[in-house]
A and B are shown apart, each in its own frame.
Chain A
């Protein structure tokens, strides 16, 4: 075979040819991407006009005309309104955000006890970071620490009442802390419950299938706010007389149930996308139902639906803001509470507070969606059609 003579093989490299005229240059890029056709020229001009019209004003409002320091509302009021700013002034009031920053983070958590939520946050970051980096080992132990041990420790630290810690009742909790607790519990509960519900929905056993379908469809069919109202007004009715249930816990139950139903539908999508041969292959190896599910089906199904799972997490994170309607003070709730605070009541404080809260929400959600894109490409095994 390899004794056949090869007629001619060039041994020296050809010299590189000069690049085509303008290739890679800025002019060429502008021509191709901004001015390709007359329609593109018009669109570009319209977009530029829009940007010129909005961006400088926005930058001025947000940064250059904004108030950065001040002790109370007078810093952000014009002379006519009884403040220090010249008439006609309009800009963001970041002094308000700076003054209330602690409150936005912790709500009315007692000042001298705030090291506790900070410690919990540090523990959370310390456990979450290694689990998010695929290269690091001991994922199983890490997950156990994050999802089983950490919640227990965090509860005792935040709530107190034992180990010599002062008790801090949940109505005092607030701000970003509550938003993060609600979403963490929602995520930690909804994934396993959602998987069980999805498996139940695919089950051969009619009673289990029908009860799972009923639960999923009823919860998905109604808005979260009605689920929260239900948890708020109906849970106390369902419990034996004399039992009371903490408001915070009611919201947690509502959020977790709601997220589980959505998670179940996402996981079901993954289960349905697994080829039948995988189920049959597992059966022919003699694996039982739970072995088959745990070792063959779930790893493939969950990998397929990572974007859907993260989208559910993002949706859950955003939806926690609804608890402010049933009287809890999450990040949005605490910002709204400050609208009526006489120390800082000015025409610009509400929108400044909302922009700050929106930026925090955006940061978390955008981060999650970027991470999901990264995981998707990391787990890609080349089986995509």
Chain B
């Protein structure tokens, strides 16, 4: 870089000058790393192929077409023990998604309530919420799962002494029985109407926001949206000739007949994941709201905004910017923690995959399926997060 380096005779470079040349040194260390990785990878590959050929294990994904031969307690798609391994893993994947989605929903609701409660000026409420957070944050999630599975659900009455709950539901130690919806002819109108209502609501909200930005006139969007989302499916229900009926579970002498049942394993996993993750979400919410500068609230009250409007128009939108990224990673954690269903026998991806692995011995293939599924979920999440951060980033000079 300096002058004398340029004018130095090119033939006279000593070994030391190479050693102190950052460019050369960088290349050397990279080559060394690469060599180590390649040798290491080759050794692993070599050992693995030798070990596999010694134990006569065929590699490849052909085993996925074989007959599974094991039963799965809960499945969203038709499945029997005659189905293939591939289908068993698919059932597990769908169950993972199911528990993740309902868990995320419940955890968010509980987390918001607890998080806002911790910020409450009411001393008793704030303390209760703090106790909740400190209890659940400091115990392993696996212990919470067992607590629900053994401690609470295991203590439920036998089937003939089922607890009757509202809406025709029953609770006993074989799970939760609830009315099963039966979709008659023309029932597709209802979800279609709901979809139309949601699209229309988004359109109305956009139009109202644009009009308010242009003219300052406000529009009662919230009321219209509620009317649309509840009203349109109702209208569709009556237009379609009331196609939706329910099959209620009936308490017989020894058994419940009719209705649908969710297994206690699912309930335990779902409740544990929701309550556990809610404590982390509560902390995220609290940090986000506490992270909005005090000047913002003061400026809002100086402008004459009511406390409720300050919260809704000034604090929440700014807090969301802080909250969403850690919230997404909590959602991801919940999805990954759903793999602990394997400990109570809930047939999710790791559980059905593990059974497949034990029966076929295809360890590498099954682990690779796990890796691909979980990595795709987390890559999709982080892509969303990057998109969101780019969209929400403060425009700075």
Q: Interface of A with B (CB < 8 Å)? A: 33-34, 36, 40, 43-44, 47-48, 50-51, 204-208, 211, 217-218, 220-226, 229-230, 233-234, 236-241, 314, 318-319, 321-322, 324-325, 332, 336, 339, 347, 350-351, 354-355, 357-358, 361-362, 365-366, 369
Closest Cβ–Cβ distance, residue A35 to chain B (whole Å):
9
Closest Cβ–Cβ distance, residue A46 to chain B (whole Å):
9
Contact B50 A241 (CB under 8 A): yes
Residues of A close to B337: CB separation below 8 A: 223
Residues of A close to B336: CB separation below 8 A: 222-224
Smallest Cβ-Cβ distance to B50: which chain A residue: A241
Q: How far is the CA of A342 from the CA of B146 in the complex (A)?
A: 19
Q: Which of B296-312 contact A (CB under 8 A)?
A: none
Residues of B close to A33: CB separation below 8 A: 121-124
Residues of B close to A208: CB separation below 8 A: 29-30, 33
- Total A-B Cβ pairs within 8 A: 160
Which range contains the number of B residues in contact with the other chain? 35 or more
Closest Cβ–Cβ distance, residue A298 to chain B (whole Å):
20
Smallest Cβ-Cβ distance to B376: which chain A residue: A221
Pick from A241, A322, A362: contact of B135, CB under 8 Å: A362
Pick from A50, A234, A369: contact of B367, CB under 8 Å: A234
Contact A226 B374 (CB under 8 A): yes
Contact A237 B363 (CB under 8 A): yes
Contact A205 B143 (CB under 8 A): no
Contact B371 A43 (CB under 8 A): no
Contact A205 B51 (CB under 8 A): no
Q: How far is the CA of A385 from the CA of B137 in the complex (A)?
A: 28
Residues of A close to B377: CB separation below 8 A: 221
Contact B37 A211 (CB under 8 A): yes
B134 at the interface (CB under 8 A from A): yes
Contact B375 A322 (CB under 8 A): no
Smallest Cβ-Cβ distance to A39: which chain B residue: B122
28 examples of A-B residue contacts, CB within 8 angstroms = A40-B121, A43-B120, A43-B122, A51-B128, A205-B26, A207-B34, A217-B378, A222-B374, A225-B342, A226-B339, A226-B374, A229-B350, A229-B367, A233-B357, A233-B367, A318-B140, A325-B343, A332-B142, A332-B143, A350-B146, A351-B147, A354-B146, A355-B147, A355-B151, A358-B139, A358-B147, A361-B139, A369-B138
Smallest Cβ-Cβ distance to A46: which chain B residue: B125
Closest Cβ–Cβ distance, residue B370 to chain A (whole Å):
5
Contact A322 B142 (CB under 8 A): yes
Closest Cβ–Cβ distance, residue B315 to chain A (whole Å):
18
Q: A234-B363, A351-B147 are in contact. Are A34 and B343 (CB under 8 A)?
A: no
A223-B339, A357-B143 are known; give 5 further A-B pairs, CB within 8 A.
Answer: A207-B30, A226-B374, A241-B50, A362-B138, A365-B139
